[in-house]
């Protein structure tokens, strides 16, 4: 299972790609898309989109996870963050990758054990859990790896917990595939 995690931002978007096999994690890649503040918003968004598409084409992730917007910022910041989230999600959706979203508190709780963890605590735990020799240069890359770990623990692992066979479940991508996978949930007219 390969998971691409993203920590969105218009100036710095972090991404991290991890692979899970038999409960062990391997870091395939992590970095940031660093935009200049003097670039226009459309140019920044294009850089984020193009870079994430290249990462997706290189690693073919099975799942995509992104951090939700932090609502404590002002409206202008929230709108800009929404743009970065939008193009990031679009890159995944255009590649038909199932997507999931997690709040910053949920990511911290999944990785550190508390939703009030500091950036340093998240960085330390990501470095420890993924056996990195040194922490990533940017917290944004660390946060993206944390989002990928959170997704594994919250979603992928949870889906596997209910399995009785070793067969891999396919992600539900449409109502039609959901109905085909769960005919017992249909209510038929009498």
Any idea which residues carry the catalytic annotation?
A: 7, 67, 140
Rounded to the nearest 5°, which phi and psi values hold at 11?
Answer: -90, -40
Question: Three-class SS of residue 115?
Answer: coil
Q: Please say whether the beta carbons of 17 and 4 come within 8 A.
A: yes
Instruction: Tell me which DSSP letter residue 1 carries.
Output: -
Q: Please say whether the beta carbons of 58 and 50 come within 8 A.
A: no
CA 43 – CA 10 distance, rounded (Å)? 10
Listed in sequence order, the DSSP H helices in the chain are: 41-59, 75-94, 104-111, 119-129, 139-151, 157-161, 175-181
What the block records as the tokens of 156 is 């992928």
For strands 63-67 and 12-21, give the pairing. unpaired
Segment holding 19, helix H or strand E: strand 12-21
CA 111 – CA 105 distance, rounded (Å)? 10
């Amino acid at each position: 299972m390969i998971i691409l995690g993203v920590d969105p931002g218009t100036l710095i978007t972090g991404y991290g790609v991890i692979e899970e096999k038999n409960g062990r994690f391997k870091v395939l890649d992590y970095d940031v898309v660093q935009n200049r503040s003097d670039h226009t918003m459309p140019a920044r968004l294009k850089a984020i989109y193009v870079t994430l598409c290249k990462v997706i084409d290189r690693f073919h992730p099975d799942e995509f996870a992104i951090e939700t917007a932090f609502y404590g910022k002002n409206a202008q910041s929230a709108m800009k963050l929404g743009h970065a989230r939008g193009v990031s999600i679009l890159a995944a959706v255009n590649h038909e990758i199932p997507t999931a979203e997690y709040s910053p508190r949920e990511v911290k709780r999944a990785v550190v054990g508390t939703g009030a963890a500091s950036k340093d605590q998240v960085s330390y735990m990501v470095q420890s859990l993924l056996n990195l020799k040194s922490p990533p240069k940017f917290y944004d890359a660390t946060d993206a790896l944390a989002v990928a770990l959170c997704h594994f623990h919250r979603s992928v692992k949870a889906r596997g917990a209910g399995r009785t066979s070793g067969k891999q479940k396919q992600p539900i991508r449409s109502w039609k595939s959901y109905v085909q996978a769960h005919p017992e949930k249909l209510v038929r007219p009498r």
